[in-house]
């Protein structure tokens, strides 16, 4: 199973978008999946369902940090390569999806409200919007390698 399929499977099993993207790279990065699930548990729905930065973006940025951050005691040397990759990812994600913000990707649906949750379910946004966004986040990372 490739990473895109893994991310889709994780997302379909009930994990949030950040957990799903990060977990798809767990084996490659030598990470424990249970720790990933805990670490990224509050990132889905645009930071705890607040509609801010999409969890798939947050998960991808964590993957890129783990893959590209430098090894040094100097923060600039540690952060610089990862920041460059993160900005490259963000630009591509925005180009494809129009935004990096969850609520904008979901056409204004507020996941913190009962009404928003009902709309998310009735419009099948999990499958129509979120699953493709999770898959695209993984594809963008893979294209950057």
pLDDT tens digits for range 54-81: 999 999 999 999 999 877 777 667 778 8
Q: CA–CA separation, 55 vs 94, rounded Å? A: 14
Confidence class of residue 96 from pLDDT cuts 50, 70 and 90?
Answer: very high
Q: CA–CA separation, 12 vs 23, rounded Å? A: 13
In this prediction, residue 75 carries a pLDDT of 67
Q: CA–CA separation, 129 vs 97, rounded Å? A: 10
Helices (H), the chain: 3-12, 17-24, 26-29, 33-39, 55-68, 75-97, 102-105, 114-122, 125, 131-144
Nearest-10 Cα torsion for 72, 141, 100, 123: -140
Mean pLDDT over the full length of the chain: 94
Task: Read off the pLDDT of each residue in 90-108 and give the average, rounded to a whole number.
Answer: 98
Q: CA–CA separation, 10 vs 14, rounded Å? A: 7
In this prediction, residue 73 carries a pLDDT of 75
Q: Each residue of 10-59: pLDDT tens digit?
A: 999 999 999 999 999 999 999 999 999 999 999 999 999 999 999 999 99
Contact between 95 and 85 under an 8 Å Cβ cutoff? The reply is no
């Amino acid at each position: 199973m490739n990473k895109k399929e893994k991310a889709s499977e994780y997302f379909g099993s009930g994990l949030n978008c950040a957990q799903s993207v990060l977990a798809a790279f767990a084996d490659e990065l030598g990470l424990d999946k249970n720790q990933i699930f805990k670490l990224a548990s509050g990132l889905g729905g645009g930071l705890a369902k607040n509609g801010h930065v999409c969890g798939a973006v947050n998960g991808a940025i964590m993957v890129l940090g783990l893959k590209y951050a430098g090894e040094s005691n100097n923060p600039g040397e540690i952060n610089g390569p990862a920041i460059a990759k993160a900005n490259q990812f963000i630009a591509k994600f925005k180009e494809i999806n129009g935004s990096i913000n969850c609520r904008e990707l979901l056409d204004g649906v507020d996941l913190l409200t009962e009404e928003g949750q009902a709309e998310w379910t009735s419009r099948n946004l999990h499958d129509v919007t979120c699953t493709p966004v999770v898959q695209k986040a993984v594809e963008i990372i893979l294209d950057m390698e």
